[in-house]
Amino acid sequence: MARSAVREIPVASVGMQRGEVLVPTQLGDPVHGLLPCLAAPLVAGSLRAKGRLARVADLPPDESDADGRLFVVTCPQANGSTAAIAAAAAPGEALSAAAARAAVEEWAGVSGSRTALIAGSPWCSGALHAASAAHAAAAEHRGTGRRVHVLAPVAMPAETARSLAELGAVVTGSLAAVERGDVVVFPAHGVTDETRADTARRGATVVDATCPLVAAAQNAAARAGDHNNQLVLIGQPGHAATEPIMSKAPGHVTAVENLANAAAVRVGDSGQVSYLMLPGIELEAGAPIVSALRSRYPAVRGAVPGDVCYAPSDRAGTIYSVALGSDVMLVAGDPQSADARQISGQGRDAGTRVHIIGDVADIRPAMLASVHTIGLAESTSAPAGLIAQVLAALSGLGRLTVARRRLSTEDATSVLA
């Protein structure tokens, strides 16, 4: 798009502090009237990254005592309206004024029409079902004197976790504080048989929110134990669902996460061995291990062939597809989060530049230079509402088209019936 030149407008300096740059969320423009400054978090973030004191606030129209300096560029919006990229400084603040102008020029330099391509939600149906069950239990028993304990590790959106806390529910990794009459919510990953027995001994009411696919895996493990069979569980030993599954048949389940582990598997009867893909891992990651097991044990079979967790593979495919169609990918979440790092790796596998952002202010102009399509992916560690905040800020840089992409594997059994 043809970019407007930076204009300098005199404004009232009421509320402006010495040494700071004021980044308005809205301003009164003599040409366009009252304008929103949707990109304000971006402008403030880049100023702070350079060591400048920046404050985000409204700058309403005020023609009296117009002694401050406002630097502004306008951008068309997708709905036909106009937004502004702006920053202001108090009178006599030459350094602040220079920083304000430079920030506006920098962001104006990467303004333009773009497309935001959003990957689907990181939360699978099992996690969302468990989150809904926990929230319903907390809402039902609020104010009744019955405490609600949600057993960790929990997998749920940040907004659900916050709502649970507001309702008085406690997320805990221990049953130590559970008393008779309390409510205990089992997480989507399930719990061990020992935890189930302990909950019953304490006289608590159970809300079992175990994912149906995890429950099917637990039942498969129990059957293996009952028939004295050996079950190879393909997945990470430290995964939250692993121990609950293995607890169903102690001594009959072996967790295998790579080919080296598969080569080390020893069974007493090669005709009595089966394998199970741990719900929560990508099927593609387990396929080489299945091949290795079939090579060693031709009679090996899948323990629950009809109950397969496709969510991780669908999510990985979605991330790869979004990254492949984008010039840059922004991953919303904690840079230290394993999930955010995994998404980043999947994006880079597609040959795309990837940046993890924990806040809108983490976005820099250089990330968007020569970028027409921005991929957005939400990790499980993302703060509530971050993707929406990013979209709002990006829209302040020009016309923004938003598209969502999600790969989904559907059960087609009914079609064959």
Residues in the chain: 417
Domains 117-121+311-405 and 125-210 are alike in CATH topology: no
β-strand 301-302 against 328-332: which pairing, if any? Answer: unpaired
Residue-level pLDDT at 61: 63
Residue for token digits 């049953």? 175
d(Cα 185, Cα 169) in Å, to the nearest integer?
Answer: 10
Choose among 243, 249, 405, 236: nearest CA to 326: 405
**CATH code given to domain 125-210:** 3.40.50.11270
Helix, coil or strand: residue 51: coil
> Residue ranges of the domains in the chain?
7-111, 117-121+311-405, 125-210, 213-302
Residue-level pLDDT at 15: 76
Choose among 24, 65, 29, 27: nearest CA to 42: 24
d(Cα 170, Cα 161) in Å, to the nearest integer?
Answer: 10
Question: Which residues share a beta bridge with 329?
Answer: 354, 375
Residue for token digits 């893909």? 277
Residue-level pLDDT at 1: 41
Residue-level pLDDT at 59: 78
DSSP states along 361-402:
GG--HHHHTT-SEEEEEE-TTPPTTHHHHHHHHHHTTS-EEE
Residue-level pLDDT at 62: 59
Helix, coil or strand: residue 408: coil
**CATH code given to domain 117-121+311-405:** 3.40.1010.20
pLDDT, tens digit only, all 417 positions of the chain: 445 689 998 888 777 888 999 999 998 888 888 899 999 999 999 999 999 999 999 876 655 677 889 999 999 999 999 999 999 999 989 999 999 999 999 999 999 999 999 998 999 999 999 999 999 999 999 989 899 999 998 889 989 999 999 999 999 999 999 999 999 999 999 999 999 999 999 999 999 999 999 999 999 999 999 998 999 999 988 899 999 999 999 999 999 999 998 888 888 888 889 999 999 999 998 999 999 999 999 988 888 766 788 999 999 999 999 999 999 999 999 999 999 999 999 999 999 999 999 999 999 999 999 999 999 999 999 999 999 999 999 999 999 999 999 998 887 765 555
Residue type, 20: E
Compute how many other C-beta atoms are within 10 angstroms of the C-beta atom of residue 369.
Answer: 11
CA distances from 397 to 1, 56, 386 (A): 11, 17, 17
Residue-level pLDDT at 54: 95
Q: Is-contact 339 380, C-beta < 8 A? A: yes
CA distances from 403 to 14, 34, 38, 80, 142 (A): 41, 29, 20, 19, 39
CA distances from 60 to 15, 24, 279, 397 (A): 11, 9, 54, 21
Choose among 392, 360, 385: nearest CA to 159: 385
d(Cα 324, Cα 384) in Å, to the nearest integer?
Answer: 26
Pick among 3.10.180.10, 3.40.50.2300, 3.40.1010.20, 3.40.50.150: CATH of 213-302: 3.40.1010.20
d(Cα 18, Cα 137) in Å, to the nearest integer?
Answer: 52
User: Rg of the chain over CA atoms, in angstroms?
Assistant: 27
Burial 349-368 (b: 16+ CB within 10 A, else e): ebebebbbbbebbbbbbebb
